[in-house]
Amino acid sequence: MSMLTPPGMGGKYRITGDRYPRMSRPRNRRRLVFTAFGSVLALGLVGWGTLQLIDVFSGDSRDQKVRAAHGTGECERGDKPPAENAKSGRSDSGQSGQGGRTGEKPPKPSQITVNVYNATTRSGLAKDTAKELEKRGFKIGKVGNAPTQYDKKVKATGILLGAPGAGHGAFNVLGTQLTGAQTKNDARDGKDIDLIIGNRFKDLVGQKDADKALAALAKPSPAPSGSPCR
Length of the chain: 230
What pLDDT, on the 0 to 100 scale, is given for residue 65? 45
173: alpha, beta or left, given left = phi > 0 and alpha = psi -120 to 50? alpha
Taking CA atoms, 179 is separated from 11, 134, 212, in Å, by: 130, 18, 14
What pLDDT, on the 0 to 100 scale, is given for residue 67? 45
What pLDDT, on the 0 to 100 scale, is given for residue 76? 37
What pLDDT, on the 0 to 100 scale, is given for residue 88? 36
What pLDDT, on the 0 to 100 scale, is given for residue 40? 73
What pLDDT, on the 0 to 100 scale, is given for residue 104? 74
| Cβ–Cβ under 8 Å, residues 139 and 115 | no
The domain spans of the chain are: 106-218
Mean pLDDT of successive 10-residue stretches along the chain, which has 230 residues: 56 56 59 73 72 59 45 41 38 39 79 97 97 97 97 96 82 94 91 96 96 88 55
The CATH number of the structural domain formed by 106-218 is 3.30.70
What single-letter amino acid sits at 208?
K
